[in-house]
Structure 1
């Protein structure tokens, strides 16, 4: 695995991981998450693809930036800049939550760069109930002081998740919190809440045109059956607009599935095969 970094157009240093070979697959994480979110998936697809994981600005190993730049438009441009940095003309994209919005934005502004999109529990309509839940903890320093306390409270703090083995919550804790001598801290810039709350105070934009702009691309959707962010109705409308959408409903999962569930893996492998076939046609 190669760990590297590059400078975005405004000078912000962005971290990424690059491993494997073959079809380039760019992984874009959710609002408060980073490339480690795809560790579970990486265990199952190994070196069969070139897996590239970006830490968006303000998250993980990337620099914190001007809060005004924590926008879907800017972060989509950052993702395209990473492809430029790596000399990749076109990549398939797995977008988890906010990462899926970035993927749609990329497909709209640079369609030739996208070889397919797999959405993890995200779509053109986001439910206000789930967004309100996210708003309650975004940018708030954890009240608990140790990782073990975070593990112990994980089942109650993650509505919609059931039958999750205890070791998984231990893995999750080290990805979502940082242990310091003064308790737990956040692995992202708390200022992310500024743009989020601003967006929440305004009418939500119609993102269906962005989804429709993905016409012709291999698409997949993984949805947590208990998600409070992506409704079953929205998933159904995505399927209606794209009958060829590869769709998985993951039981006992809320927002967002881990992506190593059997249902998720089956859909992702099918989607990757479609993306790889398209990639081979275009490069032969």
Structure 2
């Protein structure tokens, strides 16, 4: 994989890379994370798809300009800029956490660019939001070590951690500036695609871990109800990073869905 860049409408450079063969599949990471978020599971999809993993503004090799608009809707336009750079007219889109919020806007604002849509551990925002328990979120605002440990527990359970002692790639991009982190938090918190969701025409799969305390599973249920014809797949006992904890199960569900909706028919 070679680092590449696309140019957003406001001139910011957006980092991305591609891996695999087959129909294009965009992979969108969570809040304050670069494309490294997908490293543990990307090979599952690269066997059958040309995966396109992007760095959100302010992460990885993307720019972090002071003049930029920071919103999930803007991040969606950055995704389209990457597709334009690659000469890709339509692609499947799989977004998790904040990446799922971004994916909603890609599908809502640019319907002709999206084949199948997969939304994981995310929310439609606005009236559809089911908030996390404030007591669960409070440790995330303490010192860095406490916040990191708390976020780890929200992402994956102790059994998974025991079997995977290495660094957890979904805890944030250490190279981000504090300003970029703040902007990501605001963009994610202010996300509201609720009124736009019924207009999504792409075949949609919604996945959610039933033990997700960071973004409670009712968010996934409401999201699936809001998008016409959407399928809901609940991953029993999984926390926020269901795609890590139940990798085999979750990847297989996504691959079955994508195979059932090839670009030429979607």
2:144 equivalent in structure 1: 142
1:127 equivalent in structure 2: 130
- Which of 244, 252, 259 is the equivalent residue of 1:266? 252
Question: How far, CA to CA, are the matches of 1:199 and 1:46 in structure 2?
Answer: 29
Matching of residue 69 in structure 1 with residue 69 in structure 2: yes
- Relative to 1, partners in 2 of residues 1:274 and 1:230: Cα closer, same or farther, differing over 3 Å? farther
Matching of residue 31 in structure 1 with residue 17 in structure 2: no
Q: Secondary structure at the match of 1:209?
A: coil
2:156 equivalent in structure 1: 161
Task: Report which of the two structures shows the higher radius of gyration computed on alpha carbons.
Answer: 1
Matching of residue 249 in structure 1 with residue 245 in structure 2: no
Question: How far, CA to CA, are the matches of 1:59 and 1:104 in structure 2?
Answer: 20
Matching of residue 235 in structure 1 with residue 231 in structure 2: no
Superposition deviation, residue 45 in structure 1 = 2.5
Q: Secondary structure at the match of 1:281?
A: coil
Q: Secondary structure at the match of 1:208?
A: coil
- Relative to 1, partners in 2 of residues 1:131 and 1:195: Cα closer, same or farther, differing over 3 Å? farther
1:220 equivalent in structure 2: 205
Q: Which shifted more, 218-227 or 242-251?
A: 242-251
Q: Equivalences for 1:171-190 in 2 at 5 Å?
A: 171-172=167-168, 176=171, 186-190=174-178
Mapped contact 1:90–1:114 kept (Cα < 8 A): yes
Superposition deviation, residue 247 in structure 1 = 2.9
Q: Equivalences for 1:204-215 in 2 at 5 Å?
A: 206-215=192-201
Superposition deviation, residue 242 in structure 1 = 5.1
- Relative to 1, partners in 2 of residues 1:5 and 1:242: Cα closer, same or farther, differing over 3 Å? closer
TM-score (norm 2): 0.82
Mapped contact 1:72–1:105 kept (Cα < 8 A): yes
Unaligned runs of 5+ in 2: none
Matching of residue 20 in structure 1 with residue 24 in structure 2: no
2:9 equivalent in structure 1: 9
- Relative to 1, partners in 2 of residues 1:246 and 1:2: Cα closer, same or farther, differing over 3 Å? farther
- Number of residues paired by the alignment? 261
Question: How far, CA to CA, are the matches of 1:68 and 1:188 in structure 2?
Answer: 15
Mapped contact 1:20–1:49 kept (Cα < 8 A): yes
Superposition deviation, residue 74 in structure 1 = 1.6
- Relative to 1, partners in 2 of residues 1:221 and 1:193: Cα closer, same or farther, differing over 3 Å? same
Mapped contact 1:40–1:258 kept (Cα < 8 A): no
Question: How far, CA to CA, are the matches of 1:52 and 1:199 in structure 2?
Answer: 22
TM-score (norm 1): 0.78
Q: Secondary structure at the match of 2:168?
A: helix
Aligned-residue CA RMSD (Å): 3.2
